[in-house]
Amino acid sequence: MGASAKRKKEKQKDFQKPKLKVGKAKAKPENFTDTSFKAKSIVLNQQSLKLSAPSASSQFTHHVSLLSSKSDSQRRDSLAHLTTTIASRPVNSPLPQPVSLLLPSLLPLTLDANSGVRTNLLKLLRALPESDVADHVGQLLPYIRAGMTHLAPDIRVSSVEVLGWLVEVAGSEVVSCAGGWVKTLNCFLSVLGWHTEASSKWTTTESKPAASFGKAGAKGKPQVKVLSVLASFLDAGIGSETVDDDGDSDMDSGFPIRQFRSQMVPQTAAPYAYLNLFGKPRDEEGEMYETREDRWRVFEGRFLAAVEKGVEGARAEGGEVGRASAGVRKVLVEARG
């Protein structure tokens, strides 16, 4: 039959040799795969071809540059390396690189997606000398605030931790720098889900954090942490002032010339920041509130009711959260006092 003849021919085809011709390229086999490619540029990964081991300082710089690496583990490891280098340096010797150079590459990591990176970052920050950090509070705070309002709850919690560290190290700077008081308090309220009267018309659940969009973290623990940091933040801002006592003692000590301090060369990095010579005009939220009275006035006007209500709710909840709220309450009572 025709069909079988056809089939035979097809079978035959597989075993026929391709004819080779002089002067022509050899025919490509049927299953040939074209692996050639075109590229606009060819990237060679850098190779280190040095014979001698890199010096400690160059290694340090290298790891700083690796902080913006794409891989999570690379970032984490670099942070760990930096931490050990800083921590293990001889006491009172300067950092391999000044803090002002380190911070621009460190700060974006507050918003890093990987939790390992964030914990390592916190470790590194703790290792930094306290006196250097105080000058850079204004730079740090926007990142921390961005973290506190982040969609991901983990990032919120870890940036609250960073804020806790910052308040510990440089509490007075945090509350008195531009935007440090009102904006940060706003962020706290948003993290805790305590809302000012104007905004809370529609929230039905009062005690629970309303900023619950995204994956909820571990239930009680984060709130405890946030509450304790809030307590220390409020304490730094409107707590009883210990500075005045120092001032008095100073005055006493330099008896003949009482107010020589105001004539001295200022010790802070930006002593005239309150004049805001080069920045844009600030609004109410971004203003610097330098004295306790200022801060208390603003706090009383805008936040006191919400915070008190929130503390009441937290106390009613009891347990660890209730205990943590007691700290905040104590600060409030003292501040009123």
Partner 1 sequence: MVKRKLGALEKVEADLPNLQHKLRRDPKSYIEDFRAQHYQYESHREIFMAAPSSATDTGIISLRELIDFIAHVADSYPDITKDFGQELIDMLTQHHLLLEPELREKIVGSLVLLRKKDLMDSATLLQTLFPILISTPSKTLRALIFQKILMDLRSSNAKSTNHKLNRTMQTVLFNLVTSDRTSSKGLWAIKLTRELWKRQIWTDAKAVEVMKEAALAENEKVIVGGVRFFLGGDKEREEMEEESSDEEAIDIGRVKHQVGINKKTKKKARAVEKAKATVQRRERKKSQPHPLNFSALHLLHDPQGFAESLFSKHLQSSKSKLNLEQKLMVLQLVTRLVGLHKLHIMHLYSYFQKFLTPRQPSVTSFLASLAQASHDLVPPDDLEPLVLKIANEFVSEAAASEVATAGLNAIREICARQPLAINETLLQDLVMYRKSKDKGVVMAARGLLALYRDLNPEMLKRRDRGKDASMSLQHGEKQVKRFGAQDVGGIEGLELLEKWKEEERKRKRAEKGLASDEDDGEEEEEEEYNWDAWNVEDDEDSDDSGGWIDVQSDAEIDFSDSEDEDGNRPAKKAKQADQDKVAESQPENKLPSIATTRILTPADLAKLQELRQEAAVNALLPGTKRRGQTAEARHKDDALTAMEIEGLAALSAGKATREERIAHAREGKTDRSEHKSVTAKRKEKKEEQGKSTTNKEKARKKNFLMTLGKAKSKGKRSLVETRAVLRAHQDRQKRGGRRGNK
Binding site for partner 1 (CB under 8 A): 68, 70, 104, 107-108, 110-113, 139, 142-143, 145-146, 148-155, 179, 183, 186-187, 190, 193, 195, 199, 202-203, 210-211, 213-215
Nearer to partner 1, 255 or 278 (CB): 278
Question: What is the SS3 assignment for 54?
Answer: coil
Nearest Cα residue to 75 out of 64, 85, 61? 64
Nearer to partner 1, 100 or 240 (CB): 100
Secondary structure percentages of the chain, helix, strand, coil, to 5: 60, 0, 40
Query: CA-to-CA distance for 32 and 58, rounded, in angstroms?
Result: 49
- Residue 44: Cβ within 10 Å count: 5
For the record, the structure tokens of 285 come out as: 């939220």
Nearer to partner 1, 26 or 280 (CB): 280
Q: How far is the CB of 301 from partner 1 (least distance, A)?
A: 19
Nearer to partner 1, 84 or 203 (CB): 203
CA atoms 263, 265, 267, 269: torsion sign = positive
- How many CA atoms lie less than 13 Å away from 220 in the CB half-sphere? 11
Amino acid letter, residue 81: H
Q: How far is the CB of 148 from partner 1 (least distance, A)?
A: 8
Q: How far is the CB of 109 from partner 1 (least distance, A)?
A: 8
Q: How far is the CB of 199 from partner 1 (least distance, A)?
A: 6
Nearer to partner 1, 104 or 129 (CB): 104
Q: How far is the CB of 149 from partner 1 (least distance, A)?
A: 4
